[in-house]
Structures are given as C-alpha cells and as structure tokens.
A and B are shown apart, each in its own frame.
Chain A
Amino acid sequence: MSSVNDTEEERLERQTAEGAQELRTQHELVVTGTVWPEHEGEGETMIINMGPQHPSTHGVLRIMMELDGETVVRAKPVIGYLHTGMEKTGEQLTYVQGATNVTRMDYASPLTNELVFAMAVERLLDVEVPERAVWARMLLVELGRMASHLLFQATNGMDVGAVSMMLYGWREREEVLRLLEMITGLRMNHNFIRPGGIAADLPDGWEERVLEVCDIVAAGVNDYDELLTQNPIWLDRMVGVGTITTEEALALGTTGPILRSTGMPWDLRKAQPYLAYDQVDFDVIYTDNGDCYDRYRIRLYEIAESIKIVKQCVDRMPKGDYRVQDKKITPPPRSRIDESMEALIHHFKLFTEGFRVPAGETYACAESPRGEIGCYLVSDGTGKPVRVHVRGPSFYNLQSMDPMIKDRLVADAIAIISSVDPIMGEVDR
C-alpha cells in the first residue's frame, strides 16, 4: 500500500523509469531440437511501455502494460503529459475570457466545454438565456457531437487497421468544420458560446448550408455502416473485445457511450434535460454487450441522431435575441459604441474588468460525446472565479480501461484504448 511517506526507492520500484523496459526474470533457453522448456508460470512477466509518443492518435497517453507472453496481466495509464494548468489559468481570466480557456480542454468537441462553463456562470448570475440562443447552442453542440464522432470513426478505424477510414472520417468532418467556421468564425476552439448567449447571430443562409452538410454526413454514415458493420475482419477484431459490465462501469464512474454500451440507457439529454432537448425528438442509442463493437456502433448511430436534432433545430429555430439583453453582462453592439457614451463605458468595463458574479458555487453538466462533462464553478463576488474545475469524462473513463484490458492480448489493447476515445486535453487539463 503506498503512502506519501514512501522513500524514493520504493516509489521508483513500483514505477518503471521513463521509456525503460524491465525484464523481471530471465529463463534459460535450451537450444536443441527438442521441445522448449515449459513456461515456468508465475513471476515471468514483462513490463512494456506504450507512449507517450506513439502512432495511435489518441494524444499523449502512456500505458504501462505488464505482459505475460502476449496476454496483458495489468495495464496502468500514466497521464499528465498534457497537463496545462488550465484550472489555474481559469482563475486569472475574467468570465468573458473564461470560455477561451475551457474550450481547449476537450478539443474534439470544444463547444460542449464552453456550454457547461456558460451554464454554470449563468446559474450563478441567475440570468435566463433567450430562446434563440438556447436553440442555437443546441444546434452548435450537436454539430460538434457529429464532428467528434466522425473523428472517432476515423481514428478508431485507423487504429484497428482500416486505414482508409482515416481519410473518409476526415472528409466528412471537414464539411462540418467548414460549416462551424461559417457560423462561429473558427474551425476549432470557437469561443462562441459565452455566458449570456452566443457571441454573434447565425449568419444569413445558414439553414441551407446546414441541411447540405447533414445530407453529406448522412451519406458518409451510410458508407461507414456498409463498409464496416458487417465486415468479418472488423467483427473479429471488435466483437467480444474489451467487455465491461454495468456494475464495473458504474463503480468506476464511467459515463457516456461506454456506460451505454453495457445496457444502461442513460443519456443526460433525456434523463436530466438541459437546453431544449426535452422539446426535440431523438433516440438514445444503447447496446448490451459492452464490447468495442458496441461502442463503435453507438457512436456511429449517434451521428444519425444528431442529424435528426439538427434538422429539427433548423425547422424550429425561434427568432429573437441571441444574447441576454442585460447591459451588465452583454457588450453593446459595435455600432452603438460610436453613438452612446454609456455603451462605450460598458464595452470598456466588460472587456477589461469583466462582469461580477455573486459569491456561490454550482455544478453544471451536459452530455459530451465522451460522457458527462461538468463544470464546478466557485465565485467570490469579483470578476474572476475562485475555482473553475471541469469534470472531464475521459479522465474518469480511463479508469475503465483496466477491467477491459485485463487478460486480453496486446493487439486488443490498441482497439480497447481507441474505443474508450480519450481526449487528453480534458484528461490532463
């Protein structure tokens, strides 16, 4: 049992040094024509280090695996290679600037991070966001979910061996990113969902463009389905690999597609709705077996559900303000700054000092493509938060890797890590 009073030697004994491989025991090789000596049994394991720089494109994750031949006895993820101190930086930024920081945590679906931060700030401020902003946020978050799941299809395909999937997935993701660039101005890390609403109104012609992109992505999803879902190699590599039971998943605090793959139909958008999810029609995708194949299918069909939601947003987008019309929170439109002294002062104050949030603490959560993302925000009445803590789903989902990888082959470990779909930005923050 480790404790903080361990000596350096004891701690180093438990952890292998950076990049070193440790062979526990040597066994003798008999070089004759006869049968090789029987495997000795216990105690002949090898610790192998995978990462933090490795071809599997899941960021800087380091896994130390103890191998008995080709079978993995234990796997330990070592993280921290992307620790950015974002929670410390968050304490130095005003609430207007906070979204720029938070958005870089889960960089595959940045809008979800901004959403939970904005929701937490708005709850502490006790403001209600106008209808149009709510629906626009929902539209953007679902587009972000599509982009993230397309990224998963691309990287998962490449890791398991279907290298063409990398190009197909990115082909569709590019369309979504270009649409997001048209709406928010940036392809990634948009800083668009801000406390009070969204940064700017939806541009002209967005409806046609969104529907076009939906058609392109839907065609892509059909292609992947035909290419992979009944593919014998795909089935061999993914079915029955990396199974986890519901009890294990719940005990380990796992959420998202991993939990849904074990037979539990829990999706925050249905169970504890936020934004306008209770007013749109979509299904929660869940399966029973808890293996990699199930998680692949869940994420694939969730793209189709997102397309459904996006189309409903296009049909039912309300008119109105895109930001709450509270002068203390929302900066004035740029044209008014030339006309009104008050507008100029408000603009100045908001962008230098920021607005003040009454003292309090709250936890706002949403369903990100990886699971439940939450923002625990503590304020002290000034313009900067005391604590911005983001509950990154991948951070807790990584704990579920151990029951999945145990007693499986090394080759499966890659498929399993890929199906957990960790994004190291939100793991390490």
Chain B
Amino acid sequence: MGLDQVPNNFLTARLEDVVRWARRNSVFPATFGLACCALEMMAAGAAHYDLARYGMEVFRASPRQADLMIVAGRVSQKMGPVLRQVYDQMVEPKWVISMGVCASTGGMFNNYAIIQGVDQIVPVDVYVPGCPPGPETLMHGIFTLHDQIRTGELLKRRDASTSGGAGIEVDQRDGVPVETDIRIPTHAGR
C-alpha cells in the first residue's frame, strides 16, 4: 500500500527491524576485486545486472566506509596480509562474501602460491561458487546475505560460530531460468 494510504502520520516498528532494514538496503561493498571475478563483479554493478537497485552501486574505496567485502578473485601469499588488514579496517557490522572458487577454496590452483580459501584468514558469510560466477550467481549470493541480515540470523550466528562467519553456500544460478525477482533488462528490447 502506498504511503498516502497510511491513515496516520507515524508507523511503529521494532527498532531492530528498522535497523536491519536500513543495513540490508544500503550495503556498501569495498573494492576488493583481485582477478577475473572482479570483472564479473563490475558487470554485476554495471547497467545490465544493476546492483544499484539494491542500494549497492557505490563501491567504497575506503574500507572504513564499507560494510561488505566481496573477495573477488584468487588470494596469493603476498596478498593475504593485505586482505586481513583491509578486513580489520572495516567497521562492524561487516560481512564477507567469498566470490568464486578461488576465494572459497583455492579453486583450480591448489599449489604453493594461492591461499586455499580466504576463510583461513577472514570469516566468510556466503560462498559463491563459479569460475567466475556470473553476475546472476553473485546476486543470488548477495540476496542470501540480505535475507540473513533481514532476519537477524547473521549477527546471531557470528557470535556462536568459532570461525566467525555464517558459511552459507549458494548454488550457481548462471543461465538458469529463475522465477525470483531478478529482472534482467535486455538491450534494445531483445
């Protein structure tokens, strides 16, 4: 119902719900694109798979201003300390999405050079599979995170688990016709 149909001038709600609503609808990601997944992350933020409709188009350069760190790409030995430093600079509440198989488990590169999963360094809340995950899969992961924030599950789980993260794994959704509310706009009407 539209706001003009509200009979009174005020709404009541629980404070928690309002806070969660605000947090969920304005998650600012930090720029942490490392490799190929970064290109798909940028594609998710671009016009075709617009992330701006979920309040997320502003990729904050400074980690102090960011809520979400999407680790997009393979994390090498040299990059590990940097990743941790950026994560530490973020202010609570903060979430981590591990995008792609390289960030989740080391991917196809199980050798000396790649950290076999960023969950060895930072607590991960959502694992998004794919190499690289298409924008649809990434958005599926982001919506899963939004749901968890909306119900408050995530903050509770953070206290309970030992590693700190929620550790939810999503399915790959690229190219699968879905009946969710993801509307993919087509170019020039096609």
Contacts and interface: CB of A to CB of B under 8 A. Distances in A.
- Asked if A and B form a direct contact in the complex, defined as CB atoms under 8 angstroms apart, the reply is yes
Interface of A: 18-19, 52-55, 57, 59-60, 80-86, 88-89, 100-101, 104, 107-108, 151, 166-167, 170-171, 173-175, 177, 181, 187-189, 216, 424-425, 428
B111 A170 contact: no
B46 A170 contact: yes
A101 B114 CA distance: 14
Interface in B158-189: 174-175, 187-188
B109 interface: yes
B188 A216 contact: yes
A164 to B, nearest CB: 10
A87 B130 CA distance: 22
Nearest to B86: A53
Interface of B: 31-36, 38-40, 42-43, 46-48, 59, 61, 63, 73-74, 76-79, 81-82, 85-86, 108-109, 111-114, 131-132, 134, 174-175, 187-188
Given A167-B46, A171-B47, A188 B36 contact: yes
Nearest to A81: B79
A424 B85 contact: no
B35 A425 contact: yes
Contact of A167 (B47, B59, B82): B47
Nearest to B134: A187
Nearest to A54: B61
Contact of B42 (A57, A80, A81): A57
A60 B74 CA distance: 11
Contacts of A424: 35
- Across the A-B interface, give the 7 residue pairs with the lowest CB-CB distance, nearest first: A85-B113, A170-B46, A55-B61, A107-B36, A85-B111, A174-B48, A81-B79
A123 to B, nearest CB: 26
Contacts of B81: 18
Nearest to B61: A55
Nearest to A78: B78
29 contacts: A18-B81, A53-B31, A53-B63, A55-B59, A57-B33, A59-B33, A60-B34, A80-B76, A80-B78, A81-B78, A81-B82, A82-B34, A82-B74, A83-B76, A84-B113, A85-B111, A89-B111, A100-B108, A104-B35, A104-B36, A107-B39, A108-B39, A166-B46, A167-B47, A174-B46, A188-B40, A189-B36, A189-B131, A216-B187
Contact of A88 (B46, B73, B112): B112
A41 to B, nearest CB: 34
B38 A59 contact: yes
Given A53-B32, A187-B134, A84 B187 contact: no
Nearest to B32: A53
Contacts of B175: 181
Contacts of A88: 111-113
Contacts of A53: 31-32, 63, 82, 86
Contacts of A100: 108
Contacts of B112: 85, 88
A10 B175 CA distance: 55
A88 B108 CA distance: 12
Contact of B79 (A82, A107, A188): A82
Contacts of B36: 104, 107, 188-189, 425
